A and B are shown apart, each in its own frame.
Chain A
Amino acid sequence: MSEVIIEVRGLKKRYGKTLAVDGIDLTVRRGEIFGLLGPNGAGKTTTILMLLGLTEADEGRISVCGADPMRDPLTVKERVAYLPDMVGFYDNLSARANLRYTGRLAGIEARELDKRIDGALVRVRLEAVADYKVGTYSRGMRQRLGLAEILMKGAQVAILDEPTNGLDPQSTFELLDMIRTLRDDGMAIILSSHILDRVQAICDRVALFNSGRIAIEGSVRELAAQVLGGGYTLQVDTSPEFGSLNAVLTAVDGVTGVEAEEPGRYRVLAMRDVRDAVARAMVNASAPVLRLASVEPSLDEIYRRYFEGLHVKT
């Protein structure tokens, strides 16, 4: 296991009478992308601000890169880069001047800074427009400029709050791709989002927030096992004329659930990869196997199921 970069225990924050964050525990390691998911107002941004020392926690202990953001905010802010939700820049300055300002505030020495800015702008592919005023930039370009700032800072941790908010699919794809390269550089990345399928593609682990608490946490597969009752989902197509396959599929060892989606199409939930056993069972029952596909458990579905489950209980 690699080194723990962020450790949070029993974090609480009150705004007046409402408990915005209610006892959160988190552990993030070097070189992983950790997703904070949840509906608006679930406490994701508040948690992020407390990690950065921009908001004071009421209770709990936080350690970011070995420093406490309450006692030692400058050390934390030196080692952590932050891309806020709907990031803003000084529109009357060029991209380069914007980066130079924050870079100097971050205490990067002048000659080194110019080099880093150039490198960062090349990596986010803004080098051609680096001297244009940011006022002329599109939403996606601003977001990429925000990433350039993170690259320039050379931080150990990057915290991105809703980085894909308001981006078109193409820009979202590009942005997430760039975020992935940050992880490959060995940065720990915390990412909050509600665009689930995109997040799923890049997150190593996710935590599902619900009214100030972390409801469930783990890799997407672990969550699927917890919420959907199976880590693997198969889609099985057979001829609609064949009749019900329910009994045949349920009998296969390891299968936890079977749903008939439409005549001849079934969804099979299993604890492990049972494609081989399912195929055998179908052939033995002389059912035509028209398709047998493993479906990645979708975060969207986990999310929806989880919150549906909550509503049923309450």
Chain B
Amino acid sequence: MSRRSGSPWKGSGIVFEKEFSDHLCSPRMLVLEWLILLTGIGAVFISIQGLRSTTAQDPFLFLRLFTDARESMPSFLSVLAFLIPLMAIGLGFDSINGEFNRRTMSRVLAQPIYRDALLLGKFAGGLATLAVGLASLWLLIIGLGLYRLGVPPSGEEVARGFVFLCISVAYGGFWLALAMLCSVVCRSPATAALSALGAWLLLSLLWPLMAGFIAGMVYPSNEVAVLLGIPNPQQIGLQQMLSRLSPGTLFGEAVVGMLQPATRTFGVVFASQARGAVVGAPLSFGQSLLLVWPQLTGLIAGTISLFAISYMAFQRQEVRA
């Protein structure tokens, strides 16, 4: 292979701008935004009702805005875990095959840019849209909290909330990359959307159940464990490892680690590990960040690998429709 000349990034900024403005103006985006806004605000509003009675007791009151669940309404967090993938898939499922179907692909690629720029610009445009949507939702909720609770958030709460926002964007990035991969592989947008949604259902709902099942098969419970009424530690270890293959699990763990400062670990705690710990005492911000760092890295790594796969698939694709 001969080396190609010129920069692969040339033009990605222009593609990014166009995609970003297209997304922000598109009716699809409007629908998704309203969906998230209404469910999110609903969840927060109800959690505020409960929180108002306990304002004096919790040093991290503001963070509980995001995590508190009341009867008949899930927490804002679980709403997000459910809706971010939907939004990301909605933004990405027709990004590449849509260009083919509109017959604009060959015209755009006949301009002096590499395919890299198109793919990267499209991904960055989608991610920026997602980030803008999530950031405005985040600000809205903080504003609502300020107004209804009447307590300003502390600096640490803001920092933790910001990391939460970053984790949410990374989580959205994973699903956006998956949706784009589907849009590269499947020529029909409907097939791409269905496969992306199928992958989402598999990874988010079925995989956690399957992880437990597989772990139980590999490490069957022994008599000692059954007698003591506790599961086999190896079994739990494997189950946890498997379930972390799902971005939903990573997102859940990372966010809980950030928003509930008392969290010290996500797995089984052995007595030796808990020695000297003050139960219920919050970790410092730095320690919480260390705790969720692997999860955040995992999400970003997953995003990058998916993007790399779609990049390879896209490079090999024929331009002619």
Contact = CB atoms under 8 A, between A and B. Distances in A.
B176 to A, nearest CB: 21
A104 interface: yes
B319 A54 contact: yes
A45 B110 CA distance: 14
A88 B320 contact: no
Given A55-B318, A71-B2, A71-B4, A88 B107 contact: yes
Interface residues of B, number: 27
Given A71-B2, A101-B14, A86 B318 contact: no
B108 A86 contact: no
A107 B112 contact: yes
A71 B5 CA distance: 7
Contacts of A90: 102, 104
A49 B320 CA distance: 8
Number of contact residues on A: which range applies?
20 to 34
Contacts of A49: 106, 319-320
Contacts of B22: 92
Interface in B3-17: 3-6, 10-11, 14-15
B300 interface: no
B4 A73 contact: yes
A82 B319 CA distance: 13
Given A73-B114, A83-B107, 15 more contacts: A49-B106, A49-B319, A54-B319, A55-B320, A71-B2, A73-B6, A75-B5, A82-B106, A82-B110, A84-B106, A86-B103, A89-B102, A102-B107, A102-B108, A106-B112
Contacts of B114: 73-74
Residue from A81, A101, A149 with most neighbouring chain B CB atoms (10 Å):
A101
A74 B112 contact: yes
A107 B9 CA distance: 13
Interface string B309-321: 0000000001110
Residue from B26, B104, B111 with most neighbouring chain A CB atoms (10 Å):
B111
Residue from B15, B108, B112, B319 with most neighbouring chain A CB atoms (10 Å):
B112
Nearest to B25: A92
Contacts of A91: 102
A144 interface: no
B109 interface: yes
B80 interface: no
Nearest to A98: B104
Nearest to A78: B112
Nearest to B118: A105
B58 to A, nearest CB: 48
B320 A89 contact: no
Nearest to B121: A105
A308 interface: no
B5 A74 contact: yes
Contacts of B14: 101, 104-105
